[in-house]
Structure 1
């Protein structure tokens, strides 16, 4: 039976982005809260300038043969939801993208710093390749079982896709908690308050503890941040 490796990798990559920060409430007062667009942009630029070198140092200290030169970009397209994610560019350089809506919705620099530290942590901890490995393993297992059961080529391909999605999602909650913990360290070492930064979890919809959900409950994430910060 012929495998479909391209389909497996596509499924894995589609799940690799981190949709961690869908803030929903408008903000008011303070910078960037209620500030004019130029002030928000300047505030975000300052957070990046301070925190990126710290994230780079943590990356170099914790990894080997990994590109630690973070590239940070803003998605200024209209109507994009408040979000941030980490991925790799075409050259394998770590890329962290903030939507303009997230920058506008953040209530203080600590929140921006925590989100940036969290996304940098995903790269440092190798979550994209680990997620892809899990997706491939899930696809192989599901496809093999379908072959043993006498499934058609179409059934095997469908099983591979489902298995890839299952595998990629299996540890996504753990990855988020790992990134929350290391993101707390990065945020604190950059001089920001990670506990205050994690307060945005109180304003976003709680994913609860859904089976195969991509994010853990908000309360669990806040506890991880508080516990990690207390140990620093």
Structure 2
């Protein structure tokens, strides 16, 4: 569970990309000029410590909140070169949850609190069932727009285009809510693991603020930080 990710990071060798189906919207990447950064030995040590602290807490919260859900998190490192800092959650073909972090993100975070918060946030996506809900929304959107195009007598190509657009709109329609839900539960996981989620959420100050764009995948950074403060203060 933990050994694969840590062995890969320490040696900085290829672990390969994690097995995926579809994943919820990944953590919004930082600017591309961070893409070539390699974790220092201190960053590697921080990653080890955070995995050891956060993973068991995330699994306990998962089992307490989502009965019947696979809570055996597998943490892996995506070591593809020239990638902007990123983390994401997905599941493998057997349904086991995967939390993936690339080298640039591990190098980019400024402290253990930020890394713990990102890890808690991604675990929360799985616990809250966001992947399945996003897939359902995408399917619904595809059926609606594709069906409307077919009813109007559109060509097969136009129907396919409408179906693809509907899937995209459907998948994105609730993504801001999902991100805020993951921020809230991620705050709980981070704090229970012994880290400061408010300090961890300061990672948002390093990445572009999406504002409140129509169908944007992430909510405004200020709204996310306020969510973290509110949940943390209530604990």
TM range (shorter): 0.7 to 0.9
Structure 2 unaligned segments of length 5 or more: list them: 1-19
Structure 1 residue aligned with 2:184, among 181, 198, 202?
Answer: 181
Return the offset for 1:177: 0.3
Structure 2 residue aligned with 1:130, among 111, 129, 133?
Answer: 133
Return the offset for 1:35: 11
- Bigger RCO of structures 1 and 2 (CA < 8 A, at least 6 apart): 1
Q: What is the CA RMSD across the aligned residues, in angstroms?
A: 2.1
Aligned to 2:233: 230
Give CA-to-partner distance per residue, 1:85-108, whole Å, 9 cap, x none: 001112211001111111111111
Aligned to 2:167: 164
Distance 2:170 2:105 in 1: 29
Aligned to 2:85: 82
3-state DSSP of counterpart to 2:157: helix
Contact in 1 for aligned 2:21/2:90 (Cα 8 Å): no
Give CA-to-partner distance per residue, 1:141-187, whole Å, 9 cap, x none: 11111122111222211111110000000000100000000000000
Q: Report the TM-score, using the length of structure 1 for normalisation.
A: 0.87
Contact in 1 for aligned 2:113/2:200 (Cα 8 Å): yes
Following superposition of structure 1 onto structure 2, how do residues 24-103 of structure 1 map, counting pairs within 5 Å? Answer: 24=31, 37-103=40-106
Structure 1 unaligned segments of length 5 or more: list them: 1-12, 28-33
User: After TM superposition, what 4+ stretches of structure 1 lie above 4 angstroms from structure 2?
Assistant: none
Distance 1:17 1:183 in 2: 15
Give CA-to-partner distance per residue, 1:90-145, whole Å, 9 cap, x none: 22110011111111111110000000000000000000000000000001111111
Distance 2:204 2:147 in 1: 40
